[in-house]
Homo-oligomer: A and B are copies of this chain.
Amino acid sequence: MTAYTAVVTVRLKRGVLDPEAETTRQALSRLGFGLDELRAADRFEIDLDAESEAAATERAESMAERLLANPTIHDYSVDIENR
């Protein structure tokens, strides 16, 4: 078994309104910062042991499908790092 860290990034699908991100964008603007769009995402770093990188990827993807992401409104991506 090898020790990996799976980084699962969960973001709202394009077109889904994100009031929290919009509020943050406006607050930064009011503070005088120049910026265009702002998107917020959740990042999960999961330490796990797996037979291979492919096995770690598969497990992280099913974690996202089963719990971390709501397929109706979220997209997710998985990156695997050696620990």
Contacts and interface: CB of A to CB of B under 8 A. Distances in A.
A77 to B, nearest CB: 11
A69 to B, nearest CB: 12
Q: Looking at chain A's contact residues, is the secondary structure mostly helix, strand, loop, or mixed?
A: mixed
7 contacts: A28-B66, A28-B67, A31-B66, A33-B63, A33-B66, A40-B42, A41-B43
Interface of A: 9, 21, 24, 27-28, 31, 33-49, 59, 62-63, 66-68
Given A34-B59, A35-B46, A38-B46, 15 more contacts: A24-B67, A24-B68, A28-B63, A28-B67, A35-B47, A35-B48, A35-B63, A36-B48, A37-B47, A39-B44, A39-B45, A40-B43, A40-B45, A41-B44, A43-B43
